[in-house]
Amino acid sequence: MNSRGLILFVALIVLVSCKQEKSTTASKTDPTVAPWMLGFKKTEINPIMVADSSFTFVDPITKETVQWQKADVFNPGAIVRNDTVFMLFRAEDNPAAILGGRTSRIGLAYSTDGIHFEKFPKPVLYPDNDEFNTWDYPGGIEDPRIVETTDGTYIMLYTSWNKDVARLSSATSKDLKHWTKHGPVFENAHGGKFMDIWSKSGSIVTELIDGRLKAKKINGKYHMYWGELFVNLALSDDGIDWEPILEANGELLHVFKPSLNEFDSHLTEPGPPALYTDNGILLLYNGKNLSGEGASNKVAEGTYCGGQVLFDRNEPTKVLARLETPFICPDLPHEITGQYKAGTTFIEGLVFFKGKWFLYYGTADSMVGLAVKD
């Protein structure tokens, strides 16, 4: 969330713990109360991944050796492949740089239990001397979300950050190690109208098929919820190039918006890939509380918590229900310290693994946390 920090006010550090909300949250996420919701519990081992300065990499642009995950590792995407969980995590290099001043690269790690991960030595996606450098550098490649298509292709959506405009971009792979970049996803949409707007956080709709999450086409199109301040919707034939859905006046259609005086009073930002279910399309999202007027007094000002919203699966722009109380909030020490001290549980990776849902999230822009649902 480095790039976000450059356009949003730094929140007041008001350490109002979500522990006060746990009983309410549990009742809201209880399947007997609302069958469409998913309830999660943080694992005892938490965080599950931290920065490590021993990993080095020769940067192809500067030609210098950098400790590419010395500062932070956070905001991961995840996928299951061959009975193994693979995590694509965001890593930052320079702990001395201020929020927004570091370069991000995407690392790869794997786990056979979903909790203990082994990292690959080098990043798998990073700024390079290529045609995408103008969008990817110097801020880097941030916040990956990953899905698998029915033909076995992996699609990663990530933020290209050149420290001017954040652009949602795409890349594809067959093995998770070697990636082909495709550039900003809105480059050709609507005559390039949205090429230079601030765009982030692409959550492609998926469906659980034979125990694996696969990208789901609805009426012949992939669907993607995306955005930062508001949730928007876009369509695609291939999952690489996308076309935002617009209002009649040609402006973006906001399908889900912040709620004043609630935990998501400042922004609603898509989390992991959305789920196509019998009840509807379930989107787990990141809600940020305002600072000052309009903020909720139930969580700390400026805090990022996780929410859930259900869309009609036949009309993906139509909201059916919204979880009023966040189901996950920062309440552990490492979730209210680090780069973003107002508190962050930034949900981004979701897999179904060995009969359980594993939800991976970034903690205060610094580490990786985990919550599990049986």
Q: Bigger pLDDT: 3 or 44?
A: 44
* pLDDT of residue 261 exceeding 80: yes
Task: Return the closest-CA partner of residue 61 out of 121, 108, 123, 120.
Answer: 123
Sign of the CA dihedral with 322 first, then 284, 166, and 47 last: positive
Identify the weakest region by mean pLDDT among 31-35, 150-154, 199-203, 286-290: 31-35
Stated pTM of the model: 0.90
Helices (H), 188-342: none
Q: Facing residues of 209 across strands?
A: 212
Element (H, E) at 146: strand 140-148
pLDDT reported for residue 339: 82
pLDDT(17) > 50: no
| Pair of tokens at residue 228 | 């930062």
Domains along the sequence of the chain with CATH: 2-373 (2.115.10.20)
Residue 100 pLDDT: 67
- When pLDDT is averaged across residues 209-223 and rounded to a whole number, the result is 96
Q: Tokens 């939800």, residue?
A: 359
pLDDT in tens, 73-123: 999 999 999 999 999 999 999 888 776 678 999 999 999 999 999 999 999
pLDDT at 21 over 70: no
Question: pLDDT at residue 2 above 70?
Answer: no
Per cent of the chain over pLDDT 90 is: 86
Residue-wise pLDDT tens digits, 148-198: 999 999 999 999 999 999 999 999 999 999 999 999 999 999 999 999 999
pLDDT tens sequence across 346-357: 999 999 999 999
Q: Kindly state the average pLDDT of the residues 50-75.
A: 96
CA distances from 306 to 41, 104, 226 (A): 13, 23, 15
| φ/ψ of residue 2, rounded to 5 | -55, -50
**How many CA atoms lie within 13 Å of 18's alpha carbon, on the beta-carbon side?**
26
Classify residue 6 as exposed, middle or buried by CB count within 10 Å of its CB (0-12, 13-18, 19+). Answer: middle
d(CA 11, CA 19): 20
Pairing of strands 231-236, 254-256: antiparallel
Averaged confidence pLDDT in the chain = 91
Is the pLDDT at 9 greater than 90? The verdict is no
Beta bridge partners of 203: 225
